[in-house]
Amino acid sequence: MLEPGATAPDFLLESLDSPAARLRDLYSADAVLFVFFKTACPTCQYTFPFLDRLNRNRADGSPRIVAISQDDRADTRGFHTEFGIALPTLLDREDELYPASNAYGISHVPSMFMVETDGRISWTSTGFSRRDLEQLGLRLGAEAFQEGDYVPEWKSG
């Protein structure tokens, strides 16, 4: 998996709800957190509602979150509906051999990469880590967790 300091690979990926997007165009104006996931991954299913909450409540000017699905359009839409996800989502297609996932060195999901405007990765996380999501919340100016949420320290991806 790419580490902080590495240059983020660039790809043109289909979007779930809009025209295709080039990754570098997404982070050229503001930092972006790319989150790779699979719809059948239990840790992704657990993590994504917290990520969606962070994205909805983030402070103006803070990085936004863009999901990158390793599944097809239908399964990805179903995931969004079932878990109430409104994150902008790109598709890293299996029939194209997951070009973005392979370039980023993904071996487990969810895998997260904060990409700064200069194209460098500044932060990464794999699986579910309460501490990592709290740290991300500080960067975004939002709270990931609310009273009453069940939040373990860690879940593997």
Where do the structural domains in the chain lie, given as residue ranges? 12-142
The whole-number pLDDT of residue 18 equals 84
Instruction: Return the number of other C-beta atoms located less than 10 Å from residue 84's C-beta.
Output: 10
Residue 104 phi, psi (nearest 5):
-85, -5
Residue pLDDT, tens place only, 9-63: 999 999 999 889 999 999 999 999 999 999 999 999 999 999 999 999 999 999 9
Q: Which of 117, 125, 122, 96 is nearest to 37 (CA)?
A: 125
* Span of 19-23, 120-124, 139-143 with lowest mean pLDDT: 19-23
**What kind of fold does domain 12-142 have according to CATH?**
Glutaredoxin (3.40.30)
Angle between helices 42-57 and 73-83 (to 10 degrees): 70
- Distance, in Å, from the CA atom of 132 to the CA atom of 151, rounded to the nearest integer, reads 12
Residue 69: strand, helix, or coil: strand
* In contact, 65 and 55? CB cutoff 8 Å: yes
Q: How confident is the model at residue 111 (pLDDT cuts 50, 70, 90)?
A: very high
